[in-house]
């Protein structure tokens, strides 16, 4: 049976912030060290210590914002240890992630240099769990004060005359857990206090993000919005897609059953329920939707690759991951009024990464290609899309709709529709009614798909999964008829 989609191309809704396509890089495993930072003396080609191949690849997907330095690491990080001559920097133990020595060679200056190379905006997460108000306040002064002050002078001594432009600042991370095991009432008060001293200097306007709930902790959202909503610009939410049990076994990234595929898709779709419910609470306190819901950690989380350090969270990435990313980004697009930013975890060599490296080698994951295809939605305007989901993917006990989608229109009037087929075995016949268009003359498409559920790119076969041109459609006036294969993501570009 054909599935019908109606797209109202002439009805403009909220702008899909490009920041929804943001990323996250923590001092965890081989994300920063090896993945980004190899040092100036490395034989791996680099610019001032930062890998050239990685920068070149990430620039192509237009990363709009990058969150750093954590994660759990943020609430143990003392920024002053990471500035000044590198050889003098204090060494510490990264207690959260593998108990390895952190030499602080990648600090504020190096991170800001990376952002400049990537042409991306920095999103810094400050330390509430084990840091002082003064420490947080001075970090912002160090980065953004233009004039004479103790921190600005120190920044200049360390080689940076002009302040950096910094917009996004997080006041702690997961303060219900690794960031201090706090109750929401306690954190709400701490948030109010810490953010008071996160000053806006000169023309630098900050967007302050409060540490938000874990998954479905709606009470946390309620308390934070009630007690501190007027003092924040954003509230974070963390949710990972895990087909198994977080503590007992999350499941393999590459060796998984049909049921694990099913659970992965179903749990990815759960993001929609979470956003809907957290939005409803936020609407109560902030009906004008001033405060953004910032999903600054999301993605798949599987068991680490066999033989790798369990504290490094290194996992492979398959077509399944790419579909999870496609579904999740569609959900964010469809909630663009409230979701102002999102940051997939984590850019390189950790969790649902864009890039995997092995010494001087680098590969792009299926998720990287998905982000590449979805760039078209960045800063475009959401347009309404309705699906009559005639087909579901079902087990004996449960089911979910086969197709997930979103649509946008950019400044040039080009409509983009992204469609995910979450069914691992069945293709989908789809009719799209492009309402509000006079003709659909110029259509092109891209597809990301595979024939094996666990298809992936490896260092030996780096191009197993990559986007191809999609021609599987016919046009009748303003109706499109298409067939999209099982486990695929298609992005259509339609011009009048
Ligand atoms: O992304 C890995 C970890 O997951 C982060 O450090 C933490 O914030 C979350 O629990």
Task: Note the pLDDT tens digit of each residue in 413-448.
Answer: 999 999 999 999 999 999 999 999 988 879 999 999
- Tell me the per-residue pLDDT of 281-294, one tens digit each, with 9 for 90 and over: 999 999 999 999 99
**Residue nearest ligand 1's atom 4 by CA:** 71
56 an active-site residue?
no
pLDDT for res 390: 74
Clarify whether residues 338 and 257 are in a common domain. Answer: yes
Clarify whether residues 338 and 360 are in a common domain. Answer: yes
Question: Please, which pLDDT band fits residue 23 given cuts at 50, 70 and 90?
Answer: very high
Clarify whether residues 409 and 358 are in a common domain. Answer: no
Pocket test for ligand 1, best of 174, 313, 347 (most atoms within 8 A of CB): 174
The dihedrals phi and psi of 253, each to the nearest 5 degrees, come to -75, -25
Catalytic annotation, pick one of 174, 222, 397, 496: 174
pLDDT for res 391: 86
Mean pLDDT of 236-240: 98
Spacing, Cα 71 to ligand 1 middle (Å) = 5
**Residue nearest ligand 1's atom 7 by CA:** 71
**Residue nearest ligand 1's atom 6 by CA:** 71
Q: Which helix (H) or strand (E) holds 369?
A: helix 366-374
Spacing, Cα 313 to ligand 1 middle (Å) = 10
What ipTM was predicted for this assembly? Answer: 0.99
pLDDT for res 438: 87
Instruction: Indicate whether 389 pLDDT > 80.
Output: no
297 lines ligand 1 (CB under 6 A): yes
Which CATH number do you get for residue 413?
2.60.40.1180
Residue where a domain terminates, one of 329, 348, 378:
378
pLDDT for res 111: 98
Average pLDDT in the chain = 97
Clarify whether residues 359 and 462 are in a common domain. Answer: no
Q: Going by C-beta distance under 8 Å and a sequence separation of 6 or more, which residues neighbour residue 383?
A: 7, 8, 9, 10, 11, 12, 13, 407, 408, 409, 415
pLDDT for res 1: 79
Tokens of 257: 């059953």
- Tell me the per-residue pLDDT of 297-355, one tens digit each, with 9 for 90 and over: 999 999 999 999 999 999 999 999 999 999 999 999 999 999 999 999 999 999 999 99
pLDDT for res 277: 98
The dihedrals phi and psi of 396, each to the nearest 5 degrees, come to -60, -30
Ligand 1 atom at minimum distance from 177 CA: 10
**Residues paired with residue 169 on neighbouring β-strands, in sequence order:** 124, 208
**Residue nearest ligand 1's atom 3 by CA:** 71
Q: For the chain, what is the domain count? A: 2
Taking phi over 0 as left and psi of -120 to 50 as alpha, with beta for the rest, 181 belongs to: left
Query: Beta strand 392-394 with 385-388: parallel, antiparallel or unpaired?
Result: unpaired
Clarify whether residues 48 and 190 are in a common domain. Answer: yes
- Tell me the per-residue pLDDT of 49-76, one tens digit each, with 9 for 90 and over: 999 999 999 999 999 999 999 999 999 9
Spacing, Cα 443 to ligand 1 middle (Å) = 41
- Tell me the per-residue pLDDT of 91-133, one tens digit each, with 9 for 90 and over: 999 999 999 999 999 999 999 999 999 999 999 999 999 999 9
**Residue nearest ligand 1's atom 2 by CA:** 71
Clarify whether residues 303 and 439 are in a common domain. Answer: no
71 lines ligand 1 (CB under 6 A): yes
Ligand 1 atom at minimum distance from 72 CA: 6
Clarify whether residues 227 and 78 are in a common domain. Answer: yes
| DSSP at 303 | P
**Residue nearest ligand 1's atom 8 by CA:** 71
423 lines ligand 1 (CB under 6 A): no
Mean pLDDT of 459-481: 95
Spacing, Cα 72 to ligand 1 middle (Å) = 6
Question: Please, which pLDDT band fits residue 185 given cuts at 50, 70 and 90?
Answer: very high
Q: Tell me the residue range of the domain where 282 lies.
A: 18-378
Clarify whether residues 122 and 223 are in a common domain. Answer: yes
76 lines ligand 1 (CB under 6 A): no
Spacing, Cα 442 to ligand 1 middle (Å) = 43
Pocket test for ligand 1, best of 213, 345, 348, 353 (most atoms within 8 A of CB): 345
| pTM for the model | 0.97
Mean pLDDT of 37-43: 97
213 lines ligand 1 (CB under 6 A): no
Instruction: Indicate whether 227 pLDDT > 90.
Output: yes
174 an active-site residue?
yes
Q: Which of 209, 211, 50 is nearest to 118 (CA)?
A: 50
Q: Going by C-beta distance under 8 Å and a sequence separation of 6 or more, which residues neighbour residue 239?
A: 215, 270, 271, 274, 295, 297, 298
Question: Please, which pLDDT band fits residue 396 given cuts at 50, 70 and 90?
Answer: confident
Clarify whether residues 265 and 319 are in a common domain. Answer: yes
| 3 state SS for 185-245 | HHHHHHHHHHHHCCCCCCCCCCEEEECCCECCCHHHHHHHHHHHHHHCCEEEEEEEECCCE
pLDDT for res 319: 98
Spacing, Cα 187 to ligand 1 middle (Å) = 18
Which CATH number do you get for residue 354?
3.20.20.80
Pocket test for ligand 1, best of 70, 123, 128 (most atoms within 8 A of CB): 70
110 lines ligand 1 (CB under 6 A): no
Helix axes 133-144, 184-196, angle to 10 degrees: 40
Residue where a domain terminates, one of 330, 355, 378:
378
Catalytic annotation, pick one of 297, 397, 468, 481: 297
Clarify whether residues 333 and 393 are in a common domain. Answer: no
Residue where a domain terminates, one of 337, 355, 378:
378
| pLDDT above 70 as % of the chain | 100
174 lines ligand 1 (CB under 6 A): yes
29 lines ligand 1 (CB under 6 A): no
pLDDT for res 96: 93
Ligand 1 atom at minimum distance from 351 CA: 1
70 lines ligand 1 (CB under 6 A): yes
Note the Cα 170 to chain centre separation in Å.
15
Q: Which of 38, 194, 5 is nearest to 114 (CA)?
A: 38
Question: Please, which pLDDT band fits residue 400 given cuts at 50, 70 and 90?
Answer: very high
Clarify whether residues 353 and 466 are in a common domain. Answer: no
Clarify whether residues 356 and 419 are in a common domain. Answer: no
């Amino acid at each position: 049976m054909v599935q019908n989609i109606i797209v109202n191309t002439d009805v403009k809704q909220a702008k899909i912030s490009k920041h929804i396509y943001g990323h996250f890089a923590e001092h965890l495993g081989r994300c920063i060290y090896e993945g980004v930072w190899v040092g100036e003396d490395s034989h791996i080609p680099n610019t001032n210590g930062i890998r050239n191949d990685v920068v070149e690849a990430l620039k192509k997907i237009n990363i709009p914002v990058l969150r750093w330095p954590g994660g759990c690491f943020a609430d143990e990080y003392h920024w002053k240890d990471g500035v000044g001559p590198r050889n003098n920097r204090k060494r510490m133990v990264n207690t959260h992630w593998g108990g390895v020595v952190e030499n602080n060679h990648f600090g504020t200056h190096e991170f800001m240099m990376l952002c400049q190379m990537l042409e991306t905006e920095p999103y810094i997460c400050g330390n509430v769990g084990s840091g002082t108000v003064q420490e947080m306040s001075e970090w912002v002064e160090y980065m953004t004060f233009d004039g004479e002050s103790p921190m600005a002078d120190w920044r200049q001594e360390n080689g940076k005359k002009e302040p950096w432009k910094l917009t996004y600042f997080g006041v702690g991370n997961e303060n219900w857990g690794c960031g201090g095991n706090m109750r929401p009432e306690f954190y709400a008060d701490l948030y109010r206090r810490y953010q008071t001293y996160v000053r806006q200097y000169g023309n630098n306007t900050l967007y302050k993000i409060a540490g938000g709930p874990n998954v479905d902790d709606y009470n946390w959202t309620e308390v934070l919005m009630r007690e501190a909503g007027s003092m924040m610009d954003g509230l974070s939410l963390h949710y990972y897609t895990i087909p198994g049990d977080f503590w007992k076994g999350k499941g393999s990234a590459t060796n998984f059953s049909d049921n694990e595929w099913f659970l992965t898709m179903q749990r990815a779709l759960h993001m929609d329920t979470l956003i809907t419910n957290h939005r409803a609470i936020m609407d109560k306190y902030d009906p004008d939707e001033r405060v953004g819901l910032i999903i600054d950690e999301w993605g798949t989380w599987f068991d680490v690759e066999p033989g790798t350090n369990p504290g490094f969270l290194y996992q492979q990435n398959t077509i399944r991951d790419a579909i999870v990313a496609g579904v999740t980004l569609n959900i964010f697009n469809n909630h663009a009024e409230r979701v102002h930013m999102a940051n997939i975890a984590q850019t390189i060599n950790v969790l649902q990464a864009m890039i995997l490296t092995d010494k001087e080698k680098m590969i792009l994951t299926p998720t990287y290609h998905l982000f590449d295809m979805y760039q078209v939605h960045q800063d475009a305007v959401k347009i309404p899309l309705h699906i009559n989901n005639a087909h579901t993917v079902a087990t004996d006990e449960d089911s979910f709709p086969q197709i997930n989608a979103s649509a946008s229109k950019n400044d040039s009037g080009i409509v983009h529709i992204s469609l995910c087929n979450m069914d691992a075995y069945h293709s989908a016949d789809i009719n799209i009614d492009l309402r509000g268009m006079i003709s659909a003359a110029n259509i092109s498409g891209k597809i990301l798909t595979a024939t094996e559920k666990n298809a992936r790119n490896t260092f030996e076969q780096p191009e197993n999964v990559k986007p191809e041109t999609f021609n599987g459609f016919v046009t009748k006036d303003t109706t499109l008829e298409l067939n999209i294969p099982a486990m695929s993501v298609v992005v259509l570009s339609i011009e009048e």
